[in-house]
Chain A
């Protein structure tokens, strides 16, 4: 995984990458934990010295102690060294002194770059307006639905300007099998101000926009929620593809979850969901599961049940004939 990440990161950077100043360079590509700036070599030495799990690496190197986005890369390093004796842990454990309040929450967005074979691309915008006088720096991670990171870039938005980041088929399509990924933004500053990222889905005929969804303040806390995440459904004059996309933003793996469609007439259907670990994302083609949602013949909602997890969720409606994507955050 580490070599793959380096190769892909270099390829994206070398391709022009539209990844704003300053792009990831070779030195950055040698870093595995971008939050704490821990190089691969330091982690390898820790493993050589006896680290056998993520918790050991956290204690010895400080890697994977802030946003936890490097855990799959660390696991790949552990697997290289430990072979079959390595055991993947589904739950990500924060370090004992972990204090989430010191850091701004990561922000997540879906990336469509040729998803479904369609001509659809993603563009991300961060606007730095009336904040502190210095440029706003942030990191952009590009992740697969499996949670594995396939690219990481340092970005900045100058004061009074916007960082516009091209996540199109041309730029990142080669990194995303199936044309689907997840963008994660980690700000360098504690105050978000105007820096909430928005994203565009672009087709030859349209552009649609909505904003990110944040992870929880404390991703290690998990339990009953006071409401469900829902996908509202109104009746529609024409059939559409309807997708429910979400990422698990909590360190606890999501298990036993389902989507429940309920119409205003009481019609209901259940869609079991696969398990999703931290930062693993799921896209569900609701139109394939619930005929009424795809045909537009009934109003109601689709809810995530039971209400136990904070997800960063998005609803996507697609009119393939007109190449119109409609997107909205949950």
Chain B
């Protein structure tokens, strides 16, 4: 299931989202031309791939061509793909391309959306994001931040970090309490095309004590040898996850 030459060579770059275990979430990839253009002649085709490691994708789905004025939604449940192996999930690659023209810039991407419904309630809505091709001016690729992480007996942060490139990425998570006390985690490796997932207090066992004096609130920094895509969600005790958002870059 190698990537087709036309897709690999396209100047329209892919974007990504977390591919969670199928027994936890039902995912709908909302492909709305309205979100990326107002040009009535625009035509699109989107390839969705599930990856969980450096080998071949575990599934691939290519939509029929669609145009401005259409709304398209791909429900993963309807495709019947395998679940990514392991509780950490995998990487969902969403690769819309314009069929009618190339990007105006050297490369560009067509960001779309994932609507995730928790099987036990809750869930999240999140934009798909690229590894490169964004216009925002970013100061560095080795650091991103997660403002407002929580870790207590009542609420826990769930961390997900995607490595959507071909090389292993060394990663480290540091948490700072609201008052500025810091716990640094150890470096660990995320294999190519893989997702790493952990409750914050499992990743940094001292974090609950660190944050206790500040009401369980702090912020985290994710350091990495190459750019990764970190996400975090919050889960009340005994409750489903009710959000997932991406990290903030260090803006230039």
Contact = CB atoms under 8 A, between A and B. Distances in A.
Given A162-B176, A326-B124, A299 B28 contact: yes
B221 to A, nearest CB: 5
A198 B245 contact: yes
Interface string A177-198: 0000000000000011110111
Secondary structure class of chain B's binding surface, majority of residues? strand
B162 interface: no
Interface-central residue, B127, B148, B218, B233, by most chain A CB under 10 Å: B148
A200 B148 contact: yes
Contacts, number: 196
A317 B125 contact: yes
Interface stretch (A76-84, A139-147, A234-242, A281-289): A234-242
Interface in B119-133: 121-127
A301 B32 contact: yes
A113 interface: no
B35 A161 contact: no
A129 B222 CA distance: 11
Interface string B163-186: 000000000000011111010000
B239 A299 contact: no
A221 to B, nearest CB: 17
Interface-central residue, A162, A193, A226, A315, by most chain B CB under 10 Å: A162
A236 B119 CA distance: 10
Nearest to B36: A227
B121 A319 contact: yes
B219 interface: yes
Interface stretch (B6-14, B70-78, B81-89): B70-78
Given A161-B176, A198-B245, A207-B155, A125 B147 contact: yes
B37 interface: yes
A193 B34 contact: no
A162 B148 contact: yes
A262 B218 CA distance: 40
Given A234-B30, A264-B72, A328 B251 contact: no
Contacts of A205: 236, 239
B178 A161 contact: yes
B234 interface: yes
B121 A227 contact: no
A161 B178 CA distance: 5
B73 A127 contact: no
Contacts of B161: none
B65 to A, nearest CB: 15
A325 interface: yes
B113 interface: yes
A120 to B, nearest CB: 12
A129 B223 CA distance: 12
B103 interface: no
A196 B251 contact: yes
A220 interface: no
A130 B250 contact: yes
B248 interface: yes
Contact of B71 (A164, A200, A264, A319): A264
B228 interface: no
A158 interface: yes
Contacts of B102: none
A228 interface: yes
B97 interface: no
A174 interface: no
Contact of A232 (B125, B143, B236): B125
Given A127-B147, A161-B176, A162-B148, A328 B71 contact: no
A211 interface: yes
Given A211-B245, A326-B243, A162 B121 contact: no
Interface of B: 26-28, 30, 32, 34-38, 71-73, 75, 112-113, 115-117, 121-127, 139, 143, 145, 147-148, 150, 155, 176-180, 182, 214-215, 217-219, 221, 232-236, 239-240, 242-243, 245, 248, 250-252
11 contacts: A123-B148, A129-B176, A194-B250, A206-B239, A206-B242, A230-B34, A230-B113, A234-B30, A300-B71, A326-B122, A326-B124
